[in-house]
Amino acid sequence: MNAIISASRLASDLGEGTPPVLLDVRWQLSVARAAGEPPFDGRAEYEAGHIPGAVFVDLDRELASAAGPRGRHPLPDVAEFGAAMRRAGVSSGTPVVVYDGGQGWAAARAWWLLRWTGHPNVRVLDGGLPAWEGALDTSVPAPAEGDFEPQPGAVGLLDADGAAALARSGVLLDARAGERYRGEVEPIDRVGGHIPGAVSAPTNENVAADGRFLPAEELTARFKELGASGGADVGVYCGSGVSGAHEVLALAVAGIPAALYVGSWSEWSSDPERPVAVGPDPQ
């Protein structure tokens, strides 16, 4: 099954007998907002207009647990995540479509968590809300309780030691911007640089200017150049397991399974005992 869905196909599916459950996961990293600008409020954006029938999901509260030694967006408590998904109307036998404001990172985080906990049919709206050409709604739906029971482990998950090992034995992709990988700037974490052996693969190079993913064959070619081909084990990390999920989604579009290091650089760099590489080369 394709991991993404076009806006036109979504509109068609919503008109069928068993429409997908829609999750709106609008979120933005609050770093580097203009002085005096209020923090981004995804719920307010949702209430101002969303795809009809969509239920808002809060990334910071429902798709992650509190920031700490395991990173800025560590895995949520599995039972609490399952309860949040059931409140949103998610059932194991019903397809789910997730979207955000267009960047794709937050939607990918929800997609990955649902896939990791065993949901068999989850897709991300390609291009997010800006790709939707239909009417928007301001009413807040009250979906019937779903029956989804999370079963973790359906897709690959890495911890810090696993990421370090994969950087030596397979392919570990760093989804952050190149300047953060090289250690030239670090706006958030304790130190800049990358996990030794990781390959720079900014996730924004997987999409076109409109936020839609590049065609699958172009993504396959890109990842092949980065070493992710020929059966090699592949893993991804980013700053805190959000944009990295978007890279895992791009790899899925290209037909390449990949594990996600959820703690990512925010966990790795918090421990001064872990090695840090700088510059353009993996080592």
Contact 101, 239 (CB under 8 A): no
Q: At which of 131, 147, 168 does a domain end?
A: 131
**Tell me, what's the pLDDT at 40?**
82
In a domain, 140, yes or no: no
Judge whether residue 138 has pLDDT over 60. yes
Same domain, 26 and 125: yes
Whether residues 197 and 243 fall in one domain: yes
State how far the Cα of 190 lies from the Cα of 265, in Å rounded to an integer. Answer: 9
**Residues 122 and 179 placed together within one structural domain of the fold:** no
Mean pLDDT, range 7-32, rounded to an integer: 89
How many domains does the chain fold into?
A: 2
Is 147 contained in some domain? no
pLDDT over threshold 90, residue 9: yes
State whether 112 and 168 are in the same domain: no
pLDDT of residue 32: 45
Q: Provide the CATH number for the domain around residue 204.
A: 3.40.250.10
161 and 124 housed in the same domain: no
On whether residue 146 sits in a domain, the answer given is no
Measured CA distances, 225 to 17, 163, 171, 200, 201 (Å): 43, 20, 11, 11, 10
Residue 34 pLDDT > 70, yes or no? no
The answer to which of 25-29, 88-92, 129-133, 270-274 has the lowest mean pLDDT is: 25-29
Average pLDDT, integer, range 58-63: 96
Interval 81-115: pLDDT, tens:
999 999 999 999 999 999 999 999 999 999 999 99
Domain contains 70? yes
For the chain, report the end-to-end CA distance as a whole number of angstroms: 36
pLDDT bucket at 230, cuts 50 / 70 / 90: confident
Residue with tokens 């291009």: 127
Joined together, the tokens standing for residue 189 give: 């974490």
Same domain, 90 and 187: no
Predicted local confidence at residue 161, as pLDDT: 98
Residue 38 has what pLDDT?
73
Beta strands, E only, the chain = 4-5, 21-24, 55-56, 96-99, 122-125, 157-158, 171-174, 199-200, 234-237, 259-261
193 and 118 both lie in a single domain: no
Q: Give domain status of residue 206, yes or no.
A: yes
Mean pLDDT of the chain: 95
C-alpha radius of gyration, the chain, whole number:
18
User: Percent of the chain having pLDDT more than 70?
Assistant: 97
Whether 163 shows a pLDDT value over 80: the answer reads yes
Confidence of residue 265 (pLDDT cuts 50, 70, 90): very high
Range of the domain at 39: 4-131
Residue with tokens 């805190």: 240
Residues 89 and 18 in one domain: yes
Instruction: Give the pLDDT of residue 5.
Output: 98
User: Largest Cα–Cα distance of the chain, in whole Å?
Assistant: 55
Please report the pLDDT score of residue 31 as a whole number: 53
Whether residue 18 has pLDDT greater than 50: yes
Claim to verify: residue 68 and residue 33 sit in the same structural domain? yes
* Same domain (yes/no): 119, 23: yes
* 118 and 52 fall within a common domain: yes
- Assess if residue 151 is contained within a domain: no
65/125 same-domain check: yes
**Is residue 171 domain-resident?**
yes
Does 36 score more than 90 pLDDT?
Answer: no
The pLDDT of 209-231, averaged and rounded, is 95
Q: Which of 226, 214, 227 is nearest to 254 (CA)?
A: 214
For residues 245 and 36, the model is more confident at: 245
Q: What is the mean pLDDT of residues 119-135?
A: 97
Catalytic center residues = 238
Q: Does 251 map to a domain?
A: yes
Does residue 35 have a pLDDT over 70? no
Please identify, among 97, 131, 165, the residue that sits at the C-terminal boundary of a domain: 131
pLDDT at 238: 98
